[in-house]
Amino acid sequence: MLPLIAYWSGLGRAWRRKRMLALYWFFHTLCAAAAALPLMAVAVPQLGRSRLGDELMRQFDLAWLAEIASAAGAAAPAVVFAILAASAVLLLGAVFLAAGAVPLLAEEGALYSPETFWRGAGRNFWPFLRLALYSFIPYGAAFAIAGLLRRGAQALWGEGLAARPLVLADYARMALLIVLFGLISTAMDFAKVRLALSGSRQSLRACFASLRLVWRNPGVVFWLWACFAATGAALAWAYVELAVRLEGGGAALVVVLVLLQQAYVLARIVLRFAAWGAAAELDPILRPLPAPEPTPAPVPVHDYQI
Amino acid sequence: MRRWLIALSASLPLCAQLAPPVASYDIRASLDAQKHTITGEQTLTWVNDSPDTVPTLQFHLYMNAFRNSRSTFFRESGGQLRGDRAAEDGWGWIQVNSMKLEDGTDLTPRIRCISPDDGNPDDCTVIEVPLSEPVRPGAALRVSMRFTTQLPKVFARTGYRGDFHLAGQWFPKIGVWETKGFRYAEKSGWNCHQFHANSEFYSNYGDYRVELTVPSRFVVGATGELVKRTDDAQRGTSTYWFAQPSVTDFAWTAQPGFLRVERMFEARKQTTPEELASAARLHGISLEDARLSDVKMIALIQPEHAEQTERHFQALATALKYFGLWYGRYPYRTITVVDPPHGAGGAGGMEYPTFITAGTSYRLPRDVLTLELVTVHEFGHQFWMQLVASNEFEESWLDEGFNTYSTGKIVDKVYGGTSLPLTVFGSNLWSWLRLPKLTQASMDRAAHVGTPVRDPLATRAWEFYDSSSYSINSYSRTGVALRTLEALLGEDTMARVMRAYHQRWRFRHPHSRDFQQVVQEVSGRDLDWFFSQFVFGSRKLDYAVSEIRNRRLDTPVGVFEKGGGKQTVTAKEARRRDEEREKRGEKPQYESWVKVERLGDAIAPQEIEIRFRDGHIERRAWDGQGRWAKFTFTRAAEIESATIDPQRRYALDVNLANNSRKADYNTALSTQWSVRLLFWAQNTMLWLTALV
Ligand SMILES: [Zn+2]
């Protein structure tokens, strides 16, 4: 029950932060455009003039991709650079926006104002950035575990004449990797909430404390993650099923398709926010709040005198 | 000659000979499954079918390519081929222990390694033996040999893995004596190339009788027909007798785990009377000549691929049918397909006479056609390599490329296209995402377009710029070139060309010019420009429509001679006249022109199609010689678009997008493309930021 409550609460919290959602969407779209722009510059002008353009819109053609690749060979370094640069800006920007968004999602009663948001973003940026870097440790460990499993499977069955055990081991490895990634990612959500609520700057401690929290409550965290993963999968399924019905239609359907695409992107962002909201919902339940740090302000003596 | 071999020859009936035998082998071999060695004795009967007196013999010892890292094969491949690596402990070699003539002359001490292709002193994949008495024209020579073959651990084509054994190129095989003027021979001599990283086939036809002894638990498959099998319970071995006349090679496989399944290809059931009649009509042959024959299909399948057994048979039957209908019936009585186990992929996708290796993977999705593709392709080599035995070393395009073309046509016709494996936990997302099936035609063209044109198609296999140039030219680019030829000649003429070439050169050894000869004969056209640029040359074909301009012809302004005097038309006056014309409903005239350009160095005659806004279409021919050409029109409508090569006959053109141009930029379309690209970028970005 607990994971479901947190899931719903997370969705509710995300839904109430529409301006933050819009901002997050805008930023992603901007970076996506920056990355896609050079690709468009290479691929699109040719098609806008060519009679092949309409044909390719209906039927994707491998040979055409090869044509572009060989025609744009010289531009390849520029395209790669643009994509890398856009990705770097994106990652930093995403940390910054998360730093602003998480406190507002975590404190349910908090009132949104641009100043609150940007203040949070400024205050939490460095701890969040450090957290993102520290998260390489558990993600790396997950990879290492998966690598060990692969080695083990190779040692056991690699010399055999059947691929079946290796393939099945690979399925198991993939499943484990996905779950581990899900759990770690959820743990990092907890860590962000912890950092944002406590105002602490100790990212490493938050990182490991959250991993510990996940370790102690694997069931709750797994099911919470599973709820989000299932929602994500269902959204993707719904998107593909709808999109294929709209492809190749007239101008009106194209507009509908574009709206659908952006709705899908927005829905993914809502899920991201909801995951932070859900972590905030669960955090106080799973973690007995630490004794409040000694407050520097002394208690006025006269309170005791009444 | 050893007595048992005479006995063997007498006891094994061969079905009818199809080609005069030049190099026939009687081989007795046994497999040591622990050491993966083959001990063999063979008697070669070689007929000197040339007018020359032959002073020496040359043999291929292919297996020595795997002897050490200094062999030519290793130097060229870097110990890595088709994605597989050589194992440290898996060396292979072949040792000729003795060589004797019928009269008892011992040739063993005279054996020496030679390297006719690259002079590599460390390569011993070809040996030469001088004879004391040369072989006279028309004479037959019998040579008895004892040999030991150590199979390498499979990484390229042949070898063992666990208890799977694939013995290809495993016995000493004589080269081909070419008399002066035969193919490219400038003087008479042996054509016996070393074993290279790419290419390996060129041999004479002959009759093979082979006796194989293996541990009884092994399941065996081989070239030809199984004549009998005996078991030696005491030794725990079984002996298999195989026989096949009129082939160029012999390969076999043994593994205890094989599932051996047989199916009959029943010609009557597989072809309809209409199909036969249509083939007979097209090629001007009798129904009897178009008819196919029954063939026993044998599949040796890995147990974990049992559910794909029928896919193997379907692919084989499809290939037997179409190769037969198109080029002539498959003349042998069996075809065996081997499914190599996991980890022995290097032995997959190989062709030997009446015996091929395919390759699949555990739970291969139904819509991923790699199994069908490889099976049809390897079967295709029965026609392009075995029945038409061109020299793969020197002109790989004639077998790999012809086969790519034929395979592509069959697979695209019968199966449509293939999905690519985009599997998640065994289920393929390709179809679910509604990604289109890829045809062989488009995949070949993609490979052609994506790789620079560096070598002529007709290049000796080891003399290509690199391995990728070898494979693109030998396979995909030839496929594209033959499709271009088909578009130029028309489908029916091309079909007649291919059959005529196959039939004329069946059981013989043609070269590239022989094919050109047939093309020109059947089509009645001089195609030297095509062959010299794209087969014997390495020209790049790229034509483009580079500019379209439309200009309205308004009333001209200025001073004009009129009635002996000068009349000035002002801009205002001109405008007035234009407006009046418009009011009268007269359509304005336009002067429009199209410029086309030749961007590549290949020259090909072109057609240009010009579409006007009123629906009118003009066509112009251009010899394609100059760097550019301009076509001007004066009409009451503007040009809407122009296309060079509108029928897309030149699949060889490396850029089809620039073959057409519209006068107006299609903003709606490019917006759609941009929006699509943006959406995928957004999604990728969201995956990225999910981690922070
Ligand atoms: Zn091939």
pTM over 0.80: yes
Q: What is the pLDDT of residues B345-359, one digit of tens each?
A: 989 999 999 999 999
Residues in chain A with CB shorter than 8 Å from the CB of B680 are 36
Nearest to B297 by CA among B363, B356, B219: B356
* Residues β-bridged to residue B106: B100
In a domain, residue B109? The reply is no
> By residue range, what is the domain housing residue B607?
543-665
B436 inside 8 A of chain A by CB: yes
Residues in chain B with CB shorter than 8 Å from the CB of A51 are 641, 643, 660-662
User: Would you say residue B3 has pLDDT above 50?
Assistant: no
Q: What is the pLDDT of residues B568-586, one digit of tens each?
A: 899 999 999 989 988 998 8
Quick one: tokens of A271?
């899920």
| Domain boundaries along the sequence of chain A | 2-286
Residues in chain B with CB shorter than 8 Å from the CB of A139 are 691
Q: What is the pLDDT of residues B477-531, one digit of tens each?
A: 999 999 999 999 999 999 999 999 999 999 999 999 999 999 999 999 999 999 9
In a domain, residue B203? The reply is no
B306 inside 8 A of chain A by CB: no
Mean pLDDT estimate for chain B: 94
Residues 5-24 of A with CB under 8 A from B: none
Q: Which of A53, A62, A254 sits opposite B443 (nearest CB)?
A: A62
Would the CB atoms of A49 and B363 count as touching at under 8 Å?
A: no
Would the CB atoms of B342 and A32 count as touching at under 8 Å?
A: no
Which of A169-173, A244-248, A251-255 has the highest mean predicted lDDT (pLDDT)? A169-173
The amino acid present at B232, given as its one-letter code, is D
What's the CA-to-centroid distance between B379 and ligand 1, angstroms? Answer: 9
Per-residue confidence at A97, pLDDT binned at 50, 70, 90? very high
User: Would you say residue B226 has pLDDT above 80?
Assistant: yes
A71 inside 8 A of chain B by CB: yes
Residue located via tokens 């500019």: B547
User: Would you say residue B565 has pLDDT above 90?
Assistant: no
Per-residue confidence at A284, pLDDT binned at 50, 70, 90? confident
Q: What is the pLDDT of residues B41-87, one digit of tens each?
A: 999 999 999 999 999 999 999 999 999 999 999 999 887 655 566 66
User: Would you say residue B88 has pLDDT above 80?
Assistant: no
By CA distance, what is B547's nearest residue in A?
A49
Residues in chain A with CB shorter than 8 Å from the CB of B161 are 161
User: Would you say residue B6 has pLDDT above 70?
Assistant: no
> Residue B228: helix, strand or coil by DSSP?
strand
Q: Which of B426, B442, B675 sits opposite A63 (nearest CB)?
A: B442
In a domain, residue B211? The reply is no
- Helix or strand holding residue B330 (H, E): none
Per-residue confidence at A300, pLDDT binned at 50, 70, 90? low
A175 inside 8 A of chain B by CB: yes
By CA distance, what is A129's nearest residue in B?
B692
Per-residue confidence at A290, pLDDT binned at 50, 70, 90? low
Q: What is the CATH number of the domain that holds B547?
A: 2.60.40
Residues in chain A with CB shorter than 8 Å from the CB of B690 are 185, 272
Q: What is the pLDDT of residues B604-616, one digit of tens each?
A: 999 999 999 999 9
Q: What is the pLDDT of residues B600-655, one digit of tens each?
A: 999 999 999 999 999 999 999 999 999 999 999 999 999 999 999 999 999 999 99
pLDDT given at position A269: 95
What's the CA-to-centroid distance between B93 and ligand 1, angstroms? Answer: 24
Nearest to B299 by CA among B284, B291, B310, B307: B310
Q: Which of B450, B681, B691 sits opposite A69 (nearest CB)?
A: B450
A98 inside 8 A of chain B by CB: yes
Q: How far is CA B518 from the centre of its chain?
A: 19
Residue located via tokens 């394609």: B624
Q: What is the pLDDT of residues B286-300, one digit of tens each?
A: 999 999 999 999 999
What's the CA-to-centroid distance between B69 and ligand 1, angstroms? Answer: 25
Would the CB atoms of B691 and A135 count as touching at under 8 Å?
A: yes
pLDDT given at position B20: 93
> Residue B622: helix, strand or coil by DSSP?
strand
Residues 167-196 of B with CB under 8 A from A: none
Would the CB atoms of B445 and A265 count as touching at under 8 Å?
A: no
Q: Are B252 and B210 in contact (CB under 8 A)?
A: yes
In a domain, residue B337? The reply is no
Spell A203-212 as b/e; 16+ CB within 10 A means b: beebbbbbbe
User: Running DSSP on this structure, what letter comes out for residue A154?
Assistant: H
Residues in chain A with CB shorter than 8 Å from the CB of B669 are 47-48, 53-54, 57
User: Would you say residue B16 has pLDDT above 70?
Assistant: no
Q: Which of A39, A57, A240 sits opposite B677 (nearest CB)?
A: A39
CA separation (Å) from B29 to B21, B198, B362?
22, 27, 33
Residues in chain A with CB shorter than 8 Å from the CB of B666 are 47-49, 53-54
Q: Are B422 and B368 in contact (CB under 8 A)?
A: no
* Domain total of chain B: 1
Q: For the beta carbon of residue B604, count every other beta carbon within 10 angstroms.
A: 24
Torsions phi, psi for A300 (to 5 deg) = -60, 135
pLDDT given at position A109: 73
Quick one: tokens of B109?
């001490």
pLDDT given at position B1: 40
Q: Are B314 and B410 in contact (CB under 8 A)?
A: no
Half-sphere exposure of B548 (CA within 13 A, CB side): 25
Q: Averaged over B89-97, what is the pLDDT?
A: 93
User: Would you say residue B439 has pLDDT above 80?
Assistant: yes
User: Would you say residue A122 has pLDDT above 80?
Assistant: yes
Q: How many CB pairs under 8 A join A and B?
A: 187
pLDDT given at position A306: 42
pLDDT given at position B13: 47
Q: Averaged over B455-472, what is the pLDDT?
A: 96
Gap between the Cα atoms of B297 and B336, Å rounded: 6
Quick one: tokens of A148?
């060990």
Q: Averaged over B130-142, what is the pLDDT?
A: 96
Chain B nearest C-alpha distance from A245 (Å): 11
Quick one: tokens of B595?
């410029």
Largest CA distance in chain B: 123
Q: For the beta carbon of residue A154, count every other beta carbon within 10 angstroms.
A: 12
Residues in chain B with CB shorter than 8 Å from the CB of A258 are 675
Express as a percent the part of chain B with pLDDT over 90. 85
pLDDT given at position A113: 86
User: Would you say residue B15 has pLDDT above 80?
Assistant: no
- What is the full DSSP assignment across B197-228? SS-------EEEEEEEEEETT-EEEESSEEEE
User: Would you say residue B192 has pLDDT above 70?
Assistant: yes
User: Would you say residue B8 has pLDDT above 60?
Assistant: no
Contacts of B233 (CB under 8 A, 6+ apart): none
Per-residue confidence at B4, pLDDT binned at 50, 70, 90? very low
pLDDT given at position A302: 56
Is residue A44 exposed (0-12), middle (13-18) or buried (19+ Cβ within 10 Å)?
A: buried
In 3-state terms, chain A is what percent helix, strand and coil (to 5)?
85, 0, 15
User: Would you say residue A291 has pLDDT above 70?
Assistant: no
In a domain, residue B160? The reply is no
SS (H, E, C) B482-497: HHHHHHHHCHHHHHHH
Q: What is the pLDDT of residues A6-22, one digit of tens each?
A: 999 999 999 988 999 99
Residues 345-364 of B with CB under 8 A from A: 361-363
Q: Averaged over B309-313, what is the pLDDT?
A: 98
By CA distance, what is A128's nearest residue in B?
B692
pLDDT given at position A59: 66
Q: For the beta carbon of residue A122, count every other beta carbon within 10 angstroms.
A: 12
The better pLDDT of the pair B158, B3 is held by: B158
Q: Averaged over A135-161, what is the pLDDT?
A: 95
